[in-house]
Amino acid sequence: MVDLYRAEYRSLVRLATMLVDERGLAEELVQDAFVAAARTSGAGSLRDPAAAPAYLRSAVMNRARSHLRKRRVRRRHLRSVEPPRSAPGADDPVLRADSTRRMVAALRRLPLRQREVLVLRYYADLSEAEIAETLGIGTGSVKTHAHRGLAALEPLLDQP
């Protein structure tokens, strides 16, 4: 499990950060996914080591979705409550670049499934089959969400 943690932790934190927009929260989600994987694997290692990265991506995605649902409900019913901001992460200088900021802002305006597919495809560099496995959908749905997401991104990126 330690080798898996070392190999996957950073990419999973980047993935979660792109989805929830809070570095500290992203780290928590990833740590929770690793803890759950260690608990369910019995002896401390997953039964199929080759499936471990996909399992962890799915676990992180599910935790991010759950957090975003809770955030939406909190904002809808308690407009005055803002989630706490985390301390800046090590990758903040990169995220501050204008083009990156615009891309992230445009991605956040997409429906959740389109955003997930595009982040997994272009940021995590996963294949359509890996995305389908991670999200629990068919490859046809991955293609549809990617196509619609890219089409929706274009006009958002053209805005000043």
Tens digit of pLDDT per residue, the chain (160 long)?
Answer: 788 889 899 999 998 998 888 899 999 999 999 888 888 765 445 677 788 888 899 999 999 888 888 877 666 655 544 445 566 666 666 556 667 778 888 888 999 999 999 988 888 888 888 899 888 999 999 999 999 998 998 888 877 6
Same domain, 110 and 63: no
Same domain, 72 and 129: no
Look at residue 95 in the predicted model and tell me its pLDDT. Answer: 56
Same domain, 21 and 86: yes
Look at residue 80 in the predicted model and tell me its pLDDT. Answer: 45
Query: What domain count does the chain have?
Result: 2
Contact 63, 34 (CB under 8 A): no
pTM of the model: 0.55
Q: Which domain holds residue 128?
A: 97-160
Closest C-alpha among 120, 118, 150 to residue 133: 120
Domain boundary among 73, 90, 107: 90
Maximal CA-CA distance, the chain: 53
The residue assigned the tokens 């956040």 is 108
Domain boundary among 75, 90, 105: 90
The residue assigned the tokens 């792109």 is 18
CATH code for the domain of 115 = 1.10.10.10
Cα–Cα distance between 64 and 47 in angstroms, integer? 24
Same domain, 72 and 111: no
Same domain, 41 and 109: no
Same domain, 81 and 158: no
Domain boundary among 38, 60, 90: 90
Task: Tell me the three state secondary structure of residue 45.
Answer: coil
Look at residue 81 in the predicted model and tell me its pLDDT. Answer: 42
